[in-house]
Amino acid sequence: MKPFLDDHFLLNSTVAQELYHNFAKQQPIIDYHNHLLPEQIAKDIRFENLTQAWLYGDHYKWRAMRANGIDEQFITGKGSDEEKFIKWAETVPYTLRNPLYHWTHLELQRYFGEQELLSPKSAKRIYEECSAKLQTADYSVRSLLKKMRVESLCTTDDPLDNLEHHRSFAQEKESFLMLPTFRPDKAMAAENVAGLNAYIQQLEALTNSTISTLTDYLTALKSRHDYFAANGCLISDHGLEHIYAEDYTEKEVQDIFVKIKLQQDLSPLEVNKFKSALLIYFAEWDHEKGWVQQYHLGALRNNNTRKLDQLGPDTGWDSIGDFSQGRALSKFLNRLDREDKLAKTILYNLNPADNPLFASMVGNFNDGTVAGKVQFGSAWWFLDQKDGMTQQLNTLSNIGLISRLVGMLTDSRSFLSFPRHEYFRRLLCNLFADDIVNGELPHDIEWIGQIIQDICYNNAKSYFNFQPSPAFK
């Protein structure tokens, strides 16, 4: 019987196999957006067991376990790590046709050499053997990253973060880069006046300043933006339902900030004006420094308020939203472009119905100054699976230039998630190969192979201008 996930997994022709094995497979990884913890990398921690490395913080797996009827005590509750793993192993056979089935077994194979399928029958042995490996130096978090040939990675960091772990890591002669990403979502969250005031107080303490006016607030935030730049940051990121692009005057936003400081509730229009103004300021600072700005759009978060109250955010209660994206996105990008302040920009879409909108929108602002200056980013979150990735790649091919795409990212909290780059690369090679086999592309393996390498690695290296460590080989 043909082994599961063999060398030709997802590669449905000899052409696809040639493209992947000769051009894509050995390319280093530039993971320019993830949620890994910098402290764990700086301290090169070793996980005690497979549950800690694999299940902690992974709301993809948590949602599947809940759908399979697993009690919360074995997901985020007080169950032991081994009990939680056993319950995950019970769930895996029921994830057929969900991307988790592929990811689970890819990760077991690529990191641990584990060929047996995960099930209740194999769970105890796999748990014990993989946990024992994770406690060794060869399976520390840095070793896991090197195993996947990670050259650069960018964590996701709040402006209040002191970046101590990035700074300590930068002093070491490691074989890969770890850089921060400036994500100021909390700084513009005016829908929660009490929470924003608490944030402002933290910013005051951090910057040793008094923040009474909008000008004070912007000055303090700009100092954090400068601090991130001084510590290697080259990217900003925003996780929003949609772009905010209300018309506003400086006086209006100043008055709104006074209301915030007075703990007065804001109207929905005032919230939108405040967010719109902050987005423009952040984007202008990004352009000034030559950063890349990323916008992750379309998530409808925290739908289950009962569970949110019990477990907090980022525990698996989010979904795809159906927000109107086009007009505000156009208005926002156009304002920045008109004032020659539009930085290199990546737009990520979560609602597949909006794929053509995003793919066509980026073309409005590619002005020839930089190849792929404004990008329709790779499929993310609920869409970073076979069907979602293929749809994104096809839509971009039809409306823009797939050849200038900056590739895949993990968007993950797990050090075991990097085979997602392999998954993307296999699908990409198969897509091009199908067109070659069907006579829709020429059988020019060298040129198409070069395009494959560019999408997997070269485009991102040039676009972000990361300078890999001399130790990287």
- Give the end of a domain, one of 297, 320, 339: 297
> What would you report as the CA-atom Rg of the chain, rounded to the nearest whole angstrom?
23
Question: What ranges make up the beta strands (E) of 90-167?
Answer: 150-154
| C-alpha closest to that of 103 among 370, 389, 350, 346 | 389
Give yes or no: residues 58 and 111 share one domain. Answer: yes
What is the tens place of the pLDDT at every residue in 215-235? Answer: 999 999 999 999 999 999 999
Q: How many domains does the chain have?
A: 2
Give yes or no: residues 133 and 191 share one domain. Answer: no
Identify any residues that bridge with 297 across adjacent strands, giving them in sequence order: 240, 349
The whole-angstrom separation of Cα 470 and Cα 51 is 34
The whole-angstrom separation of Cα 40 and Cα 53 is 11
The whole-angstrom separation of Cα 158 and Cα 433 is 42
Identify any residues that bridge with 346 across adjacent strands, giving them in sequence order: 294, 375
Give yes or no: residues 112 and 189 share one domain. Answer: no
Domain that holds residue 114: 46-139
Give yes or no: residues 199 and 274 share one domain. Answer: yes
Contact 31, 153 (CB under 8 A): yes
At 2 the pLDDT is: 73
At 468 the pLDDT is: 57
- Give the end of a domain, one of 139, 168, 191: 139
Tally of CB atoms within 10 A around 398: 12
- Give the end of a domain, one of 262, 297, 332: 297
- Whether 391 maps to a domain, the answer reads no
Place of tokens 């040129």: 447
| C-alpha closest to that of 62 among 413, 420, 423 | 413
- Whether 62 maps to a domain, the answer reads yes
Question: What ranges make up the beta strands (E) of 202-307?
Answer: 235-240, 292-297, 299-300
Give yes or no: residues 124 and 222 share one domain. Answer: no
Give yes or no: residues 135 and 187 share one domain. Answer: no
- Whether 446 maps to a domain, the answer reads no
Give yes or no: residues 102 and 208 share one domain. Answer: no
DSSP 418-441: THHHHHHHHHHHHHHHHHHHTTSS
- Whether 259 maps to a domain, the answer reads yes
The whole-angstrom separation of Cα 290 and Cα 344 is 8
- Whether 411 maps to a domain, the answer reads no
The whole-angstrom separation of Cα 468 and Cα 115 is 33
Give yes or no: residues 201 and 292 share one domain. Answer: yes
- Whether 432 maps to a domain, the answer reads no
Give yes or no: residues 288 and 204 share one domain. Answer: yes
- Whether 68 maps to a domain, the answer reads yes
At 471 the pLDDT is: 47
180 alpha carbon, distance to own chain's centre: 13
What is this structure's pTM?
A: 0.96
Contact 330, 271 (CB under 8 A): no
The CA angle 414-420-424, to the nearest 5 degrees, is: 160
- Please list the ranges in the chain whose pLDDT falls under 70: 1, 468-473
**DSSP H or E run through 162:** none
> Domain with 105 in it: what CATH number?
1.10.2020.10
- Whether 97 maps to a domain, the answer reads yes
Contact 398, 355 (CB under 8 A): no
At 467 the pLDDT is: 76
Give yes or no: residues 134 and 224 share one domain. Answer: no
The CA angle 24-416-143, to the nearest 5 degrees, is: 85
